[in-house]
Structure 1
Amino acid sequence: MATHAIHLELVSKYDTDAFLAALARFTSRRGKPAVIYSDNGLNFQGANKELKLEFQGSLKHAQSKDFELIREIKWKFIPVATPHWGGLWESGVRSVKHHLKRILGTFLPTFEEMTTLICRIEAYLNSRPLSRLRDDIESLECLTPGHFLVGRALLAPPEMSVLELKESTLNRWQKITRITELFWQKWSGEYQQSLQSRPKWQIKNNDFREGDIVIIKTPNAPPCKWNLGRIIRLIIGSDSVARVAVVQTANKQIQRSLTQLCRLPA
């Protein structure tokens, strides 16, 4: 809830048993949550009842020294018919479904292929920069949701792009790779656009400052690769408005229009 990290699980059904299996996989990899927030789906209501029964049963058979190890998961449901109360997780779900449904088209992945696909998408979403990682002004490291999950930024293994190949010549794995590449292009572009404020040029409202860490828009960047830089100088025009900045990257200094830069929160 604080880091906006996203965990995706593929299930074959919407019932209580399928959700409990997904929750078991989640807790095995991420740890047991203290609180679960959700809407009032029947599968969630049923899972809550099952967990309460299991908790009561474990208390009956536990010894006094084990009580502190047994902690009930608290379940908090949002009011009925108020999906906007769950806007935090609904926005994460939308980030996936909006693009994925359009990219998949008529392609029907197997359960294993779909599991692989959503795991890669999960890594992409959790690689997004949130803010500066260190107070050192020279550092270009940024905090990501991945830091809270694995202790460091998430990286994708290097792969050859298949976007330029004819789709009819691709094998099954290459098609999955192509889908993930298309998803990365569309979602990363949308995320960067959400970081940009777009006031009218008549309004002198410039959020950029020297020392800011920015994402440099790069259309063909590989998955999980965010081109970061630090603004070292703003170039002021004759009308006293800055529209260009000199940016220090890891390797060199470049000039970019402010429309090609996305400022990260401090």
Structure 2
Amino acid sequence: MSEASNRRVAIVTGASGGIGRASAERLAADGMTVVAHYAGNRARAEETVAAIEEAGGTAVALGADVADEAQMTALFDRTTELYGGVDVVVNTAGVMVLAPLAEFDLDQFDAMMRTNVRGTFVVAQLAARQLRPGGALITFSTSVERLQQPTYSAYAATKGAVEALTLILARELRGRDVTVNAVAPGPTATPLFLDGKPQQVIDHIASLAPLERLGTPDDIAETVAFLAGPGRWVNGQVLYVNGGIA
């Protein structure tokens, strides 16, 4: 059997940038073969693949809508066809729209629910069916669940749903030797967080953590790598990764 066929295989959704890319590169550095999922930006996903390959890893970019079960089933099937199975699934794909609840556009709410909740459900369902023994599913919540900041009500509501399905799925997979956990980042220096915020606001938010800085995608990826690898006794948990901000 070749060395490549002995590698664990990870699917990382939203791997075209931010936390997804950092997670994909970190898992590849741990020796995993990585499927870098993208929704619309193939070029950026290919950049993730190129970075992994330049570092000596193995990766491929595959596109799909996380909320479309047929497209995601095809992505999982293609992964198995290429690499023999799936061991780790990291679902970083998500969108964030902010506004006070009383003013929130319901079309935007529905779109965010589709990606964040239905998308997580579709990915988790496929992971539950296909992850091999010793596998791990890692979903993404948010530290706003604790911070309760104004304008985050709709976004936090989607992540509350993610936490609920994550914690229950961990119990449903009894006997499978598969862990299921959620990572809940605090303010992290990604385009999703930084876009549209004045520097003064960014500096203030950074000052709230005892470590007095924003998180980085690499900070979050370290926790992903722990849950995907050595953290086998952590199961059915939400890990708040926020530098002590809450």
Q: TM-score, normalised by structure 1?
A: 0.27
Q: Which has the higher helix share?
A: 2
Between 1 and 2, higher relative CO (CA 8 Å, sep ≥ 6) is seen in: 2
Between structure 1 and structure 2, the one with the greater Rg is: 1
